[in-house]
A and B are shown apart, each in its own frame.
Chain A
Amino acid sequence: MFIDPHAHMISRTTDDYEAMAAAGIVALIEPAFWVGQPRTFVGTYVDYLSSIIGFERFRAGQFGIRHYCTVGLNSKEANNEELAEGVMEWLPRFALKEGVVAIGEIGYDEQTALEDKYFRAQLLLAKELELPVMVHTPHRDKKRGTSRSMDVCEEMGLDPSWVVIDHNNEETVDETLDRGFWAGFSIYPSTKMGTRRMVELLKHYGSERIIVDSACDWGISEPLAVAKTAKLALENGIPEETVRKVTYANTLEVYGKSGQIHESDWLNPPAIDQRTLYEGNSILRGGREPLIEAPGSRNRDNLIIE
């Protein structure tokens, strides 16, 4: 049983959902981010937020996966001031919707003044609404950008135990953990973190405040990253309890502070949900063994489409 705490499912196919469910993903968190190109109207951003609290949740439910999300203005689009102002007006309306477990992913991209302005404004919002925060750390000038993100969180008076610093690597993890923040690792091919490196990190750091995610999105990425990391870690002698914490329990602990994600959501879903928005998870239902299969692999050689 796994949770993927960072997956942009709006960009993924039903094959991915099917493969994730088969691999044992019971829940995931979809952080609001940019969609690969800039939005130029406030309205498209509003409709995007509406998609991730509505339609995407329904899609996931069809595959027996519980869908949660974070809402926020991402760092790239924070640079379009007109758009940013508009989004900031709408954001409080979305922040208290069902299944919104944090404000995120927010933070820096190019570390501009506008990014800084809206990062701070959203940290304030999270504090007011008593929501956790998911921080996206920049790809470029990463080490300094990550330190600065934590500086600003502290300056704005956030409790580090409510903040996940995501996309960590070997260079940033010490500081993140030392300062009391949660350290997210995105297992994303070629750019962020790989499974073998992640296993080494687990050997060294153990499980405390460490979270593994896929960050899968519209780029070449891996929706099974969490399940694959877990498998490789177990094969390399990482204790089961450590694996469970970094691929499941830690996510529940930190995002659970929102009051919007509970284990019972998938272990014991309310009847009304089962009739409407959640089909139930076949792995939980049948005690079937999770399987790691490439998305769509079961169909690829089948010429019959009915």
Chain B
Amino acid sequence: MSETAVESLRQWVLRQAGEQGKWLETRLEALAAGAPESELHTVLGLAPRRLGKADLILIAEDLRQAEEALPGWRPDGWSIDGAARVLALATFRGERSFAETFKDLRRTADARELVALYRGLPLYPEPRSLAFEVGEGLRSNMIAVFEAIAHHNPYPSMHFDEHRWNHMILKALFVDSALADIVGLDERANPELGRQLLDHIHERWAAGREVSPEVWRCIGPCAIEVDAMEAFERALAGKSTERAAAALALVSNPSPLADALLATHPEAAALVAEGQLSWDTLSRHEVA
């Protein structure tokens, strides 16, 4: 748990809370001082009624602070009520274990609350004890809930084992959720995931469906190991986004074989070399 991150969140919420700030501060004090769990339910329930549902207003300096406190954490896109809910939960010191409290909240949460609960993951105490709860969130059909865990959230890269990590990536692809917003995407690339994604690509090709250009990003680093060169060749001869993605992915692989393959497609290689291509632009282009 990052004390600094919680403190930053507290400042952002209070500065936007206006005259409701006093109410929130009093409640937070009570929550920190061992108020019963029913008090937590009340604060979470009242948050949108008291504070409204506007977007949380953050400036560049706030985002820099967020990144410093918790690398990868980007709370832009949060709402004021969601931020206050996370703050309340991160501040609460109850008698039960944190995971039990969380479970109880999750079971009775409305859609908006679920998003808030999961966005707060990297700020809670006892993060490892939440493994089961996180699994339930990842399995949700509500894309917003899945993305509350997967996007701009450092929790997965910090705490997921390889199996869970890989399944999060696969699910993101299946629900058309951007991979570029997943924190630690390149660092956590692994051959097992590379193999799964290669199978995924072949399945899509067989069905005559599009392949997300972002897939190549996670295969690139292990392209040789998972025997992906033929697939890369096909992609380099494909549509423009596919060509660009394959080229970008090959650059991430240090092997001379990757260099050699890229060299056979000079115009794709040139695009990368000119710095016109990046995963961010490719992902927005495709997903937006």
Q: Digit string of A42-56 for contact with B (CB within 8 Å is 1, else 0)?
A: 000011011001110
B245 interface contact, C-beta 8 A: no
User: Which of chain B's residues have a CB closer than 8 A to the CB of A54?
Assistant: 109-111, 114, 142
Q: Determine which of B54, B110, B115, B141 lies in contact with A53 in the assembled complex, contact meaning CB atoms within 8 Å.
A: B110
Complex Cα distance, B136 from A50, in Å, reads: 14
Q: Digit string of A28-58 for contact with B (CB within 8 Å is 1, else 0)?
A: 0000000000000000001101100111011
Question: Chain B residue with minimal CB distance to A98?
Answer: B110
User: Which of chain A's residues have a CB closer than 8 A to the CB of B114?
Assistant: 54
B144 interface contact, C-beta 8 A: yes
Known contacts A55-B141, A58-B144, A276-B115, A98 near B48 by CB under 8 Å = yes
Q: Determine which of A50, A96, A272, A277 lies in contact with B109 in the assembled complex, contact meaning CB atoms within 8 Å.
A: A50
B49 interface contact, C-beta 8 A: yes
Complex Cα distance, B109 from A49, in Å, reads: 10
Known contacts A46-B108, A50-B109, A93-B41, A55 near B48 by CB under 8 Å = no
User: Which of chain A's residues have a CB closer than 8 A to the CB of B77?
Assistant: 272, 275
A280 interface contact, C-beta 8 A: no
Question: Chain B residue with minimal CB distance to A43?
Answer: B107
A86 interface contact, C-beta 8 A: no
A259 interface contact, C-beta 8 A: yes
Q: Is the CB of B142 within 8 A of A272?
A: no
User: Which of chain B's residues have a CB closer than 8 A to the CB of A55?
Assistant: 111, 141-142
Complex Cα distance, B142 from A58, in Å, reads: 6
Q: Is the CB of A270 within 8 A of B110?
A: no
Complex Cα distance, B41 from A55, in Å, reads: 21
Complex Cα distance, B132 from A103, in Å, reads: 33
B242 interface contact, C-beta 8 A: no
Q: Determine which of B45, B49, B78, B147 lies in contact with A259 in the assembled complex, contact meaning CB atoms within 8 Å.
A: B49
Q: Digit string of B54-67 for contact with A (CB within 8 Å is 1, else 0)?
A: 11000000000000
A50 CB, min distance to chain B CBs, angstroms: 6
Question: Chain A residue with minimal CB distance to B114?
Answer: A54
A305 CB, min distance to chain B CBs, angstroms: 12
Q: Is the CB of B113 within 8 A of A98?
A: yes
B253 CB, min distance to chain A CBs, angstroms: 34
B39 CB, min distance to chain A CBs, angstroms: 14
Q: Is the CB of B113 within 8 A of A270?
A: no
User: Which of chain A's residues have a CB closer than 8 A to the CB of B111?
Assistant: 53-55, 57-58, 98, 277
A64 interface contact, C-beta 8 A: no
A94 interface contact, C-beta 8 A: yes
Q: Is the CB of B108 within 8 A of A277?
A: no
Q: Is the CB of B110 within 8 A of A97?
A: yes
User: Which of chain B's residues have a CB closer than 8 A to the CB of A49?
Assistant: 108
Question: Chain A residue with minimal CB distance to B47?
Answer: A98
A5 interface contact, C-beta 8 A: no
User: Which of chain A's residues have a CB closer than 8 A to the CB of B144?
Assistant: 58, 275-277
B88 CB, min distance to chain A CBs, angstroms: 15
B22 interface contact, C-beta 8 A: no
Q: Is the CB of B112 within 8 A of A277?
A: yes
Q: Is the CB of A46 within 8 A of B107?
A: yes
Q: Digit string of B16-51 for contact with A (CB within 8 Å is 1, else 0)?
A: 000000000000000000000000010001001100
B212 interface contact, C-beta 8 A: no
Complex Cα distance, B142 from A54, in Å, reads: 9
Q: Determine which of A93, A98, A275 lies in contact with B112 in the assembled complex, contact meaning CB atoms within 8 Å.
A: A98
Complex Cα distance, B48 from A273, in Å, reads: 13
User: Which of chain B's residues have a CB closer than 8 A to the CB of A97?
Assistant: 45, 108, 110, 113
Q: Which of B77, B114, B142 counts the most chain A CB atoms within 10 A?
A: B142
Complex Cα distance, B142 from A53, in Å, reads: 12
Chain A positions 274-288 with a Cβ under 8 Å from a chain B Cβ: 275-277
A266 interface contact, C-beta 8 A: no
User: Which of chain B's residues have a CB closer than 8 A to the CB of A94?
Assistant: 108
User: Which of chain A's residues have a CB closer than 8 A to the CB of B147?
Assistant: 276
A99 interface contact, C-beta 8 A: yes
Q: Is the CB of B55 within 8 A of A272?
A: yes
Complex Cα distance, B107 from A94, in Å, reads: 10
Complex Cα distance, B42 from A93, in Å, reads: 9
Q: Which of A46, A97, A276 counts the most chain B CB atoms within 10 A?
A: A276
Q: Is the CB of B54 within 8 A of A270?
A: yes
Complex Cα distance, B37 from A15, in Å, reads: 42
Question: Chain A residue with minimal CB distance to B148?
Answer: A276
B202 interface contact, C-beta 8 A: no
Q: Is the CB of A271 within 8 A of B41?
A: no
B79 interface contact, C-beta 8 A: yes
B53 interface contact, C-beta 8 A: yes
User: Which of chain B's residues have a CB closer than 8 A to the CB of A277?
Assistant: 111-112, 115, 142, 144
Report the 6 A-B pairs with minimum CB-CB distance, sorted nearest first. A276-B144, A53-B110, A97-B110, A58-B142, A272-B79, A96-B45
Q: 6 pairs across A/B with beta carbons < 8 Å?
A: A53-B109, A93-B108, A99-B110, A273-B53, A277-B115, A277-B142
Apart from A54-B111, A97-B113: 14 A-B pairs, beta carbons within 8 A:
A54-B114, A55-B141, A93-B41, A96-B45, A97-B45, A98-B48, A99-B110, A259-B49, A271-B55, A272-B54, A275-B144, A277-B111, A277-B112, A277-B115
